[in-house]
Structure 1
Amino acid sequence: MRYGSKLAEGKTKIVYAHPEDPELVILVHKDAISAGDGARRNEIPGKGALSGRTAANVFCMLNAAGVPTHFVAAPEPTVMIARRCAMIPVEVVMRRRATGSFLKRHPDVAEGTLFNPVLVEFFLKDDARHDPQVTPQELVAQGIASADEIAEMTEQGRRVFGLLEHAWRAQDVALIDLKIEFGRDARGRLLVADMIDNDSWRLWPGGDKQRMLDKQIYRNMTTVTAEGLEALKQKYAQVAEMTERFCPR
C-alpha cells in the first residue's frame, strides 16, 4: 500500500502519514527486538509480521469491547492503520503478580505476590534515564498529563488488563503484567495507542514462569545465538496463533 511521509521511527516500528486521510497514520512493524533500553538489539526475520498479527488481534478485541483505541485496520501482517495521536511519553504498567523490575525496586516483596486490584505504575519513556518511575503528582506537576487523564489511564489500563487476563485465562495462560501507552487524538480524547504485542506483557502458561512465552526470554539470554532467536521466534508465532481466538473474523 502507499505511504505518506515518514513521521517517526522507533526501535520496532516506523510511522508514516496516511496518503489520503490526515487523521490517520500507517504503522509498519519492523523485525527488530531490543532490551536494556536499546543496549541489546537484534533482528528476527518475520517478527514484525508476528507482532503485527498479535497487535491486530488484541486491538480488535479491545475495540469490540468498547475500549477507545487508535486501531482502525490491519491490511497486511506488518501494517496497521491507526488514528493519529499525540503520544503521552509514559508507559502505564499493570501488574497482577510481583516479578521482574518490581522485585528490584521492592526486595522485601516475595516473587509471585498477587495484586488485587491490579497494581498500576507509571514510567517516563526516557531510555537515557532508564525509564524512571514517576508518581501521578509528578506527571501533573511536569505538565505531562492532567489529574483527570491519569485517572482515566488508570481505569482504562485496569480494564484492558482485565479483558486480556480473561482471554488468556481461557487458554490456561496467566497474564502476569502488561505495559500500554496512551495518546490524544485530534479532539483531545485519550486512546489506547502504540502497540500491544508479545513485547508488552509477561505470559506464563499454567502460571509457570519456566514456560514463559514472551520477550523476557530474550532479556534473559546470557548470549544471543541464532538458535536462541529462532526458538524465540517460535514462541512469538505461538502467541500470534493463540491470539487469533481473541477476535474471530
Structure 2
Amino acid sequence: MKLTYEGKTKNVYQLDNGNIVLKFKDDVTGENGVFDPGANTVGLTIEGAGKAGLRMTTYFFEKLMEKSIPTHFIDSNIEESTMTVKEAKVFGKGLEVICRFKAVGSFLRRYGAYCEEGQPLDAFVEVTIKDDDRQDPPISKQGLSMLSILSEEEYDTLEKLTQQISTLVKEDLASKGLELYDIKLEFGRDAKTKEIILIDEISGGNMRVYKEGQYIEPLALEALLFE
C-alpha cells in the first residue's frame, strides 16, 4: 500500500488494483479538548475511537448497500481499523454536507436569534466547502454551480441522497432509543462510473446523538448501538 494522504481522523492508502484503504485513527475533531463533529481541527484523541468509528461505519454502509444506495464501501477489517473502498473524486477540493434534524452546534451559533437549542428542523441540508483557513464556509446551490464545483442537477441528487441516508440513520438510531440531531456526510464521484456516491464514514465522530435529552459521546454511542 502507498500512503497518499494523512488526514485528521484517518490516513489514505492506494492499492495496486486502484482501490483505496482508509486507516481509522483515534483522533477526533473538536476544540479545546471538547469533541465537535463540525470542527475543522483535531481536538482530542480517544483510545478505541478508530475501531468504534469503523464498526459503526461498516454497520451503516452495509445497511445502505441493502437499500441499493450508492457508496464507496467494499469491505472492512475492524481489528486492523481499515476499510477498503472504491476510488472517488471529491467535488472541487471537498464538500461537507450536513443534515440537521434539530437546531444545535454551528446552526444554533449562526441563527440563534431565530431559533432555540433543540428546535426541530425538517432534515435541513447545508453544504460547506472544506477549507480550514476559511472556517469551512457554507455555500448555496447556485454558488456551487457558478463556481463549477457541481451542477444544480448534481446538487439536487446530493440533497436527495443526504436526506435519504440521514433519515435511514435517524430511524435506525430511534429504534434503539437514540435521537439524531445532525449528521455530517461527504460525497464524491465514482472514479470509474462518475456516479455520485457517499464516501468517507458514518460514525459517532460525525454526528450528534442524544438520549433522553443528554448528548452521547462517540464511544458511548457505539456501545449503545451494539449492546
Fold equivalence (TM over 0.5): yes
Q: Does 1:239 align with 2:217?
A: no
Q: Report Cα offsets for 1:138-187 as digits up to 9, x if no partner.
A: 11111111111100010000000110111011011111111100011122
Report the AA paired with residue 129 of structure 2: L
Counterpart mapping for 1:54-69 below 5 A: 54-69=56-71
**Alignment partner, residue 22 of structure 2:** 27
Q: Indicate if the aligned counterparts of 1:54 and 1:239 stay in contact, CA closer than 8 A.
A: no
Report the AA paired with residue 112 of structure 1: G
Name the CA distance, whole Å, in 2 between partners of 1:40 and 1:154: 27
Name the CA distance, whole Å, in 1 between partners of 2:166 and 2:44: 29
How far is the alpha carbon of 1:240 from its aligned partner? 2.3
User: Which of residues 162, 182, 204 in structure 1 aligns to 2:187?
Assistant: 182
Q: Report Cα offsets for 1:107-155 as digits up to 9, x if no partner.
A: 2212222123x11111000111000111111111111111111000100
Counterpart mapping for 1:7-156 below 5 A: 7-19=4-16, 21-22=17-18, 24-36=19-31, 37-39=39-41, 41-77=43-79, 78-88=81-91, 89-107=94-112, 108-116=114-122, 118-156=123-161
Q: Report Cα offsets for 1:178-223 as digits up to 9, x if no partner.
A: 11000111221110001111111110013x0xx2113xxxxxxxxx
Q: CA RMSD in A?
A: 1.6
Name the CA distance, whole Å, in 2 between partners of 1:106 and 1:75: 41
Report the AA paired with residue 7 of structure 2: G
Name the CA distance, whole Å, in 2 between partners of 1:42 and 1:101: 19
How far is the alpha carbon of 1:34 from its aligned partner? 2.7
**Gaps spanning 5+ residues in structure 1: where?**
215-234
Report the AA paired with residue 196 of structure 2: L
Report the AA paired with residue 62 of structure 2: C
Q: TM-score, normalised by structure 1?
A: 0.81
Name the stretch that deviates more: 107-116 or 154-163: 107-116
Identity of aligned residues (%): 27
Q: Indicate if the aligned counterparts of 1:57 and 1:244 stay in contact, CA closer than 8 A.
A: no
Q: Indicate if the aligned counterparts of 1:58 and 1:243 stay in contact, CA closer than 8 A.
A: no
Secondary structure of the residue that 1:212 maps to in structure 2?
Answer: strand
Q: TM-score, normalised by structure 2?
A: 0.89
**Alignment partner, residue 228 of structure 1:** none
**Alignment partner, residue 164 of structure 1:** 169
**Alignment partner, residue 217 of structure 1:** none
Report the AA paired with residue 71 of structure 1: F
Q: 1:66 to 1:56 in 2, by over 3 A?
A: same
**Gaps spanning 5+ residues in structure 2: where?**
32-38
Radius of gyration: which is bigger? 1
Find runs of 4+ consecutive structure 1 residues off by over 4 angstroms: 36-40
Q: Report Cα offsets for 1:223-243 as digits up to 9, x if no partner.
A: xxxxxxxxxxxx51x322444
